[in-house]
Structure 1
């Protein structure tokens, strides 16, 4: 393969990684039951080739976000104004805008100043060709989650992330019944102790929603769940798997990032979270 072909492959993979993440987030929230959408104030929209997700009554500060931009059309001041207008119309207090660094326009600083957007934390986007991945191992039993255990799976996910189960549990449970999702778990005997999800999106299997109960961390559950989901993605015809996780602060580490790198995923780029707020910060 020539250098030009490798560059084209990387460009394609970056686009697939961003668009897969945008789509699984869209399905998580748009697939919520009607009563949950009303209680949480959920509104979802497709805009400029990306997605805009608003949860007005988000109890966590996580679910209002906009992403997937810069591929169908360039990121512009007009596009970001429309994104922020949706949040203003919904009464959303804050949201995160996630854009791959090579898709940010030259006037991004001006756009941020105009729309009250500030720099937040940084995530790492990773990817790997499935054929080159290295399987992980655990003494726990790992496998797909059958339909009758999806509610338990959703509960484990939210407890691991410290999120309240009211309203969010039925949203998460409903979303994984979407045919594009493949939920997996790890069990210690009959107890479900770790959870993870796979979203199939064309040539990409997106690895997401991975968490382990504190009592069972350090036993290889997530390494094995990464490997199990990669195998499922391969069986579904995917060529790559992608994932994203937080960049650790200097002098610290992120076990999730370490697990991904051990599996054979490599960083594609670091992507900053840009935080939009409805009110100007106090001086």
Structure 2
């Protein structure tokens, strides 16, 4: 079944989930990590000034309700300058990049040679559930179930460990959404230990896959696919028509198992999106 998803829908789904994920973090964590966020031109701009991973400062979701212009990107970069953010990533769907993008990059200090990309994927919810039911996807000693509220701290810790991120402060950020409206968190267990995470953010008929990861020692057991299938079934129960997800694009000679797990479940690559890097210059410090 072919998936027809407009870039505007796919971009808004991810942007709103990420905005909620970061802004619903406890105030003490937000202060420690130097977090701030705003909405500009229909997109979201997220800053984490004290982020040692340089992953969480992102601007995305643009082009759906207003065109991407030099003025809009200038406002985004000015926000980062005002926050003292050392670097950030701008993620814009290729359909929304303006003809003068190269000139905008030069004007704002955005690296036009940035080579990393993400794949945006989508799948009809019914298709994902049908595939999960038809394929033999029984994981090896892995048990997947909805997360209980008292398990959120451990779940947040596993999420960050699985992504190779620091635990202090970051784990609390990950755990914060577990009991928030609109989120549907799941965990994967191996021998009584949480070894995998995944949550679903629901907006109307769209369900955003988020934070799906498994600890290294528990991989290659079908845990990630089981987490995808469990969330797809919940999305179907909630009346969601389409599932949205992202993962890293495969560079030549590499293999992204997350990508192939999603393709096996019926997801289709909608487009690749470059990660455009912006850096605060010494003159702007």
Structures share fold, TM-score greater than 0.5: yes
Q: State the Cα distance separating 1:128 from its structure 2 match.
A: 0.5
Aligned partners of 2:157 and 2:172 also within 8 Å: no
Query: How big is each residue's C-alpha offset from its partner over 1:8-54, in whole Å with a ceiling of 9 and x where there is no partner?
Result: x8353x22211010011101111111111111111110110010000
8 Å contact kept, 1:116–1:280: no
Instruction: Output aligned runs, 1:92-241, within 5 Å.
Output: 92-118=85-111, 119-133=114-128, 134-135=131-132, 136-139=137-140, 140-241=142-243
Of 102-111 and 202-211, deviating more is 202-211
Could you tell me how far apart the structure 2 residues matched to 1:125 and 1:279 are?
31
Which residue of the partner structure matches residue 10 of structure 1? 4
Distance in 2 separating the partners of 1:199 and 1:280: 38
Equivalent residue for 1:266? 268
SS at match of 1:219: coil
Answer whether contact 1:120 1:275 (CA < 8 A) is retained.
no
Matched-pair contact (CA < 8 Å) for 1:137–1:224: yes
* Alpha-carbon distance, 1:175 to partner: 2.2
Output the CA distance in 2 between the equivalents of 1:149 and 1:11.
35
The alignment of Structure 1 onto Structure 2 pairs a total of residues equal to 273
Unaligned segments of structure 2, at least 5 residues: none
The equivalent of 1:3 in structure 2 is none
Structure-to-structure mapping, 1:15-26, within 5 angstroms? 15-26=8-19
Instruction: Tell me if structure 2 keeps the 8 A contact 1:206–1:242.
Output: yes
Report the counterpart of residue 66 of structure 2 in structure 1.
73
**Closer/same/farther in 2, CA of residues 254 and 280 from structure 1, 3 Å limit:** farther
Counterpart in the other structure of 2:75:
82
- TM-score under structure 2 length normalisation: 0.93
- Following the alignment from structure 2 to structure 1, what is the Cα–Cα distance between the partners of residues 138 and 97? 39
| Partner residue in 2 for 1:278 | 280
- Separation in structure 2 between the aligned mates of residue 148 and residue 162 of structure 1, nearest angstrom: 23
State the secondary structure of the residue aligned to 1:250.
coil
Q: CA RMSD in A?
A: 1.5
Indicate if the aligned counterparts of 1:158 and 1:169 stay in contact, CA closer than 8 A: yes
SS of residue matched to 2:179: coil
**Stretches (4+) displaced over 6 A:** none
